[in-house]
């Protein structure tokens, strides 16, 4: 099966040897997105809610560059550094997924790149 690398300047560039997303067949697999502002390369100001909104802005940009959207997401994986903030992340998450919710995993981790508070990756249909 042929794969296609996806890249957009509307989302932060990769900070390592990976792609923003890969299209394979009729699916798109995104890299995890953290709350980097694509214009400045800096982490957005604020707490986990503000970071989660930026993560979704970055995911939307990568998905659009891939030819799909949040509406076609079938699976998400959420990484958070403090499970005590799960409710805050979930509140923002529910603004982006309102019906036909994708499957989801949520994992507490010790640390994320650039000391982000949240990172989300998705799998979407084309």
Flag whether pLDDT at 15 surpasses 80: no
What pLDDT was estimated at residue 108? 98
Q: Assess whether 106 carries a catalytic annotation.
A: yes
The catalytic residue among 70, 92, 106, 123 is 106
> For 18, which DSSP code?
S
| Domain residue ranges of the chain, discontinuous segments joined by + | 3-125
- pTM for this prediction: 0.96
Query: Sorting pLDDT into bands at 50, 70 and 90, what band is 29?
Result: very high
Note the CATH number of domain 3-125: 3.30.1330.40
41 phi/psi in degrees, rounded to 5 = 75, 10
Q: How far apart are CA 118 and CA 126, in angstroms?
A: 25
* Per-residue exposure over 64-76, b if at least 16 CB sit within 10 Å of its own CB, e if not: ebbebebebbeeb
Flag whether pLDDT at 62 surpasses 90: yes
């Amino acid at each position: 099966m042929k794969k296609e690398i996806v890249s957009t300047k509307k989302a932060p560039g990769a900070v390592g040897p990976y792609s923003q997303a890969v299209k394979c067949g009729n699916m798109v697999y995104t890299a995890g997105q953290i709350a980097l502002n694509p214009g400045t390369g800096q982490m957005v100001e604020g707490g986990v809610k503000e970071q989660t909104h930026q993560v979704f802005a970055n995911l939307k940009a990568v998905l659009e560059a891939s030819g799909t959207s949040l509406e076609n997401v079938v699976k998400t994986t959420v990484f958070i550094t403090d499970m005590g903030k799960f409710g805050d992340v979930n509140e923002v998450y529910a603004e982006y997924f309102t019906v036909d919710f994708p499957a989801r995993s949520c994992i507490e981790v010790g640390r994320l790149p650039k000391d982000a508070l949240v990172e989300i990756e998705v799998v979407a249909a084309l």
